[in-house]
Structure 1
Amino acid sequence: MKRFFKSFVYAWEGMRDGFVNGRNMKSHALSAIIVILAGWFTGLSMTEWLIVLLLISGMLALELMNTAVEYVVDLVTKEYHPLAKKAKDIAAGSVLIFAIASAVIGCLIFFPKWFG
């Protein structure tokens, strides 16, 4: 049981490191705060809140995975290598895909409330 609870401590340390040292994590966190405030002022429905919170948590989790890939690649090689670049670019691309999808879904949720 002790190892089970210790795994939460390690996960918390990983999240903290991602927020402190991750290049883009602070901007994602700021965006999340802005979206949450906008949702609060807009009066989202329960379903809309569930979608927004799922998108926010998915974005933050995916950015943490991207940061983990960057750490592993940097651990393996400090020199430029085409495969290292590909690994980092593909991980960043996955974040970009989710960010674009999240922005589109956010517009579909918020625009009708603001401009409809």
Structure 2
Amino acid sequence: MKDKKKKIGFSHAWNGIKETVKNEYNFRIHLAATLVVVVCGFIFEISLLEWMFVFFAIGLVLVTEMINSVTEAIVDYIKPEYHPQAKYIKDAAAGAVLISVIIAVIIGTIIFIPSLYKLL
């Protein structure tokens, strides 16, 4: 019985990811950026430690984007009309995504800039 519940839970989780990809434009942008970064990682043959940081940064951005999407959906569901507090909640969630993206860009810069210099 426990295995069936685990499979159902995984099914719901996978469905949540699919729906986010389907419905959230910014999430698809982040996935495209992920593809570019992973390809660059292979081209520049980054180290195992660098891969760990890259995947941490990718995960951070994707998770915060999903949390932002859920936060916006909940706020719109509970408070469809404009309210200053609802705006703050949505703006703060979007700000969390921005912070995660800035962190990812810093990590990417630290890892990839030396490799780019080697090409020049």
TM over 0.5: yes
User: For this structure pair, what is the TM-score category when the shorter chain's length is used for normalisation?
Assistant: over 0.9
State the match for 1:19 in structure 2. 21
Letter of the aligned partner of 1:32 in structure 2?
T
Q: Which residue number corresponds to residue 60 of structure 2? A: 58
Question: Counterpart amino acid of 2:15?
Answer: E
Is the aligned partner of 1:3 residue 2:5? yes
**Partners in 2 of 1:13 and 1:99 — Cα distance?**
25
What SS does structure 2 have at the residue aligned with 1:24?
helix
**How large is the Cα RMSD of the aligned pairs?**
0.9
Higher mean C-alpha displacement, 86-95 vs 16-25: 16-25
Q: Could you list the runs of 5+ residues in structure 2 that have no partner in the other structure?
A: none
CA distance in 2, matches of 1:101, 1:53: 12
**Deviation for aligned residue 1:23:** 3.1
> How does 1:81-92 map onto structure 2 within 5 Å?
81-92=83-94
Residue segments in structure 1 that go unaligned for 5+ positions in a row: none
Q: Deviation string for 1:26-78 (max 9, x for gaps)?
A: 10000000000011100000000111011111211111110000110011021
Equivalence map 1:95-114=2 (5 Å) = 95-114=97-116
